[in-house]
Copies of this chain bind each other. A is one copy, B any other.
Amino acid sequence: MVVVMTPEATPADVEAVVNLVQSAGGQAFVSRGLTRTIVGLVGDVADFEALNLGSLAGVLQVIRVSVPFKLVSREHHAARSVIRVGGVPIGPGTLTVIAGPCAVESPEQTLQAAWMAKSAGASMLRGGAFKPRTSPYSYQGMGEDGLRILADVRSETGLPVVTEVIDPGHVDMVASYADMLQIGARNMQNFALLQAVGSAGKPVLLKRGFSATIEEWLSAAEYIAQRGNLDIVLCERGIRTFETATRNTLDISAVPVVQRLSHLPVIVDPSHSGGRRDLVLPLTRAAIAVGADGLIIDVHPAPKTALCDGDQALTETDIREISDMMASWPPLMGRMLAASPDEVGHVPAGV
């Protein structure tokens, strides 16, 4: 940490800072300039933060120079991690596609969507049974019945399942069905939920809050890690900006930035970031090219009747394009398309 003194700070003010830091077991180095004095702090940042140095007389600014997360940081864990979900790897070396319907609506719709996902190259199935919706009058999901459908579709297709959990009280129940627990963007700072999934013994997909800085996102991951669960995959899904032409603004730069700061895998959601079907393919290509470890894509057998986010679900023509892309693009990035753990589920004719 660095403490910047105001131009009017007295020598006594500076000494007070130094003494307080030393009393907390830290070291303080004073640099006196022409108009300002700077105090560099060495020791445990968490201790220093409790000192409220910003409240002391003569202090202009306190600048933290180390990151507020440890377990998920690359500082002490340089190698990038590979997370395995039901046998499917996510991390460097592979490109993992997760696909499925935004919301589980029926066994038929979910199964059809799963076959579409598989055609597109997906090795995992996503589907929402509990839906966090802005309006209480929007469709809220099938609940546990939806989870049962997902489990059945997994048996039939061999695809491991990732599904969202929105209530700490549901975590154990959802974990009993799912292979991976998803924390949605609106719950990224729902700390009770983060702690609950940290203790649930299943990998976690942590979406970035639409207004979260990268630092806040990694701090949220740290909450999960702190409970002993380091099987975390981060998902960039667009941030809120002034631009209204797209639902959110995909922060494509976040992928390499996070990969430098953290050892955790980072995937991209090209469906929710743009919120428009015509953007899914270009954003999928951009995500692969920027170095993402995977993708999570909305597919629905009949987007026009989808109960949730039908505007962005892909058609079968799109699926074929994605399937072609998955054959040619990952090798350019030195990656292999991740295979599903069980290849018994053959795509039936007509899908």
Give the interface of A toward B (CB within 8 A). Answer: 2, 4, 7, 27, 29, 31-36, 38, 40-43, 46, 49-50, 52, 54-56, 60-61, 63, 65-66, 68-69, 75, 132-139, 166-170, 186-187, 189-193, 209-211, 213-216, 219, 222-223, 226, 239-246, 249-257, 260, 273-274, 278-279, 282-283, 285-291, 303-307, 310-311, 328-329, 332
Contacts and interface: CB of A to CB of B under 8 A. Distances in A.
Contacts of A215: 245
B65 A61 contact: yes
Nearest to A44: B34
Given A2-B63, A290-B285, A169 B166 contact: no
Nearest to A291: B282
A38 B40 contact: yes
Given A4-B65, A253-B250, A42 B52 contact: no
Given A40-B40, A168-B169, A216 B134 contact: yes
A55 B311 contact: yes
A306 to B, nearest CB: 6
Contact of A52 (B46, B289, B310): B310
Contact of A137 (B46, B192, B209, B303): B46
Contact of A42 (B31, B213, B278, B305): B31
Contacts of A289: 282, 285-286, 288-290, 329
Nearest to A132: B191
A43 B52 contact: no
A204 to B, nearest CB: 15
Nearest to A285: B289
Contacts of A214: 243, 245
A199 to B, nearest CB: 13
A133 B307 contact: no
A328 B290 CA distance: 15
9 contacts: A33-B40, A33-B42, A46-B137, A68-B135, A135-B219, A136-B226, A137-B222, A245-B253, A249-B249
A56 B311 CA distance: 9
Contacts of A32: 42
Given A42-B31, A167-B168, A169-B168, A286 B252 contact: yes
Nearest to A260: B278
Q: Kindly list the 3 A-B residue pairs having the minimum CB-CB distance in the complex, ordered from nearest.
A: A211-B211, A31-B40, A289-B289
A68 B135 CA distance: 7
Nearest to A283: B253
A52 B305 contact: yes
A134 B256 contact: no
A253 to B, nearest CB: 5
A274 B303 contact: no
A248 to B, nearest CB: 9
A269 to B, nearest CB: 13
Contacts of A192: 166-167, 169-170
